[in-house]
Structure 1
Amino acid sequence: MKIIINIEDQELIDILKFLESQEGIKIENNIIIIDKRDISKARAQMNLIFRLLKIHDNLNRFLSSL
């Protein structure tokens, strides 16, 4: 199963770089590529990315409200 997520926020891409070594996720040209045979592992990695996106968004909202 191959999942491709396009992210336009370069700051977020830089933050997610640690996933390349920790989770085996590829990041190329603002595109996150999850390539796993096991669907449950691919879904878990996708959920991890979406949770990190939500945390990043919530943090940016909080900081902009200060």
Structure 2
Amino acid sequence: MTTDVTATLADFAAGLKFEDIPEHVRENCRILLLDTLACALAGHLGEETPQIAAMASPPARAASAAPSAA
């Protein structure tokens, strides 16, 4: 048994079978996934979405006037 938390979690997840997950947990996961998708869908047309996307995007690189060496 390892003391590394990530490895322990990975070992647990790798050995987990779908049937091992209680039905109420699976149902809750379905609801949370649908909620997340609905939030993403509803928010993608939000008024502030373009500003947030611009902040999350890497800055544009300036075009070089000098030709690159080939």
- TM-score, length basis structure 1: 0.39
Higher relative contact order (CA 8 A, sep 6+): 1
TM score, norm. by length of structure 2: 0.37
Q: Which structure dedicates a bigger proportion of its chain to strand? A: 1
Which protein shows a greater Rg?
2
